[in-house]
Structures are given as C-alpha cells and as structure tokens.
C-alpha cells in the first residue's frame, strides 16, 4: 500500500497491516526508521517521556537510595492524611466487592512468589523470637540455627536410638521377653 510519509512527505510502499494499525491508533506513519526517529525528536511527548525516564533513572541510582527511602516515607505519611489514597482505598475495600476481590487476587499472587515466602518466613521467625525472648531474641535465633545444623549432621538412627524411639516394636518385644525370663 502506498503512503505519504508524515515527516518528509515522500511516497513510500508499506504493508497494508502496518497502515491499518497506524490508522486505528491514530498514529502517523513514516517511510522508514530515519524519518520516524527525526519526527520523535521533534515530538513534545517524546521529550516529556525522556525527561520522565531521566527522573526515574535518577532515583534508581545507588547513591540516591537514602533520599529515595526518605521520600517514600514522606509520601506514605501524606497518604495517611485525610484526602490521601489510603483512606480512599480503605473505604473502597469496605464498599466495593469487585475492588476487594481484585485486591485479594493481587495479594494472593504476590504471596505465592517464592522470594516473598522466604522473606515472610524469616520475618515471622524474628518477630516470634522478639516476642517470646525480648532482648535475648538474637541469642535464641543463633541457638536455633546451631541446633538445626547439629540435627542435619546427626544420623537418623543415632538420633532415634538416643531418644529411645528406634525400633519401638522390637524394643518392647525384647523388654517383654526379658521380663518373662526374670519371672521364671
């Protein structure tokens, strides 16, 4: 299909599907990559997008991590104020069942991820230790890690015989026969 380039005005041959797609989107169609690139340079939307990208990249830099965290905390506190997103979210969760279902589905997807499960497991472990042992929580966690390491290294049979639970049936039978012999 023959088109007129939106940048240079020359005629060019393009596939019908490309032309139809551009028409449905309301997008201009160009004769090639060069005209497309030059047109985007002049496009104010492209300049705005580039500025937004630079701003996002600025916050992603490691040296800005502390500033980013402080900004996130500030925005969170603002969201708690009347008119912020949190009171609106809470009200919508209470009144809109569709919104609530969508939120719960998103939450379930997030919680199904292995990295989330591992982080949650570690957090719960530390929280329980702090709750039960207070100042000694860190010592308790170290002790638990040590005990689990020792359990990994001990053979199963040694552990069971130490507890007296290996071959319970056989142990009981021998004890029964030993008691019969002593009675006679």
Going residue by residue through the chain, which has 184 residues, state the pLDDT in tens, using 9 for 90 and above: 888 888 888 888 989 998 998 888 888 888 888 888 887 776 667 777 778 888 777 777 788 788 888 888 888 888 877 777 788 888 889 999 999 999 999 999 989 999 999 999 999 999 999 999 999 999 999 999 999 888 888 887 777 777 777 777 877 888 888 888 777 6
| Per-residue model confidence (pLDDT) at position 43 | 63
> In a 3-state reduction of DSSP, which class is residue 27?
coil
2 and 50 co-located in one domain: yes
135 and 184 co-located in one domain: no
Burial class of 12 by CB neighbour count within 10 A (0 to 12, 13 to 18, 19+): middle
- pTM tops 0.85, yes or no: no
| Per-residue model confidence (pLDDT) at position 96 | 92
| Per-residue model confidence (pLDDT) at position 184 | 60
| Per-residue model confidence (pLDDT) at position 144 | 92
| Per-residue model confidence (pLDDT) at position 154 | 81
CA distances from 126 to 115, 117, 120, 141, 145 (A): 17, 14, 10, 8, 12
> What span, in angstroms and rounded, lies between the C-alpha atoms of 16 and 28?
14
Inside any domain, residue 105: no
b/e 125-140 (16+ beta carbons within 10 angstroms → b): eeeebeeeeeeebeeb
Inside any domain, residue 52: yes
| Per-residue model confidence (pLDDT) at position 136 | 93
13 and 30 co-located in one domain: yes
16 and 50 co-located in one domain: yes
Number of domains making up the chain:
3
CB atoms within 10 A of CB 29: 20
Instruction: Name the phi and psi angles at 58, rounded to 5.
Output: -60, -45
| Per-residue model confidence (pLDDT) at position 78 | 82
Inside any domain, residue 11: yes
| Per-residue model confidence (pLDDT) at position 176 | 87
Domain holding 177, by residue range, is: 154-184
Instruction: Name the phi and psi angles at 82, rounded to 5.
Output: -55, 135
| Per-residue model confidence (pLDDT) at position 72 | 85
């Amino acid at each position: 299909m023959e088109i007129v380039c939106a940048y240079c005005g020359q005629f060019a041959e393009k596939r019908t599907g490309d032309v139809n797609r551009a028409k449905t989107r309301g997008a201009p169609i160009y004769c090639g990559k060069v005209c497309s690139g030059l047109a985007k340079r002049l496009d104010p939307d492209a300049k705005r997008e580039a500025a937004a990208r630079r701003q996002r990249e600025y916050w992603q830099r490691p040296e800005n991590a502390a500033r980013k965290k402080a900004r996130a905390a500030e925005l969170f506190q603002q969201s708690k104020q009347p008119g912020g997103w949190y009171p609106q979210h809470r009200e919508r969760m209470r009144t809109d069942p569709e919104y609530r279902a969508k939120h719960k589905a998103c939450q379930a997807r997030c919680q199904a991820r292995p990295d989330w499960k591992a982080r949650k497991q570690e957090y719960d472990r530390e929280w329980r230790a702090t709750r039960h042992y207070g100042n000694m929580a860190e010592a308790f966690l170290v002790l638990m890690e040590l005990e689990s390491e020792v359990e990994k290294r001990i053979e199963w049979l040694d552990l069971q015989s130490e507890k007296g639970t290996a071959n319970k049936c056989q142990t009981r039978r021998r004890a029964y026969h030993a008691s019969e012999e002593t009675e006679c």
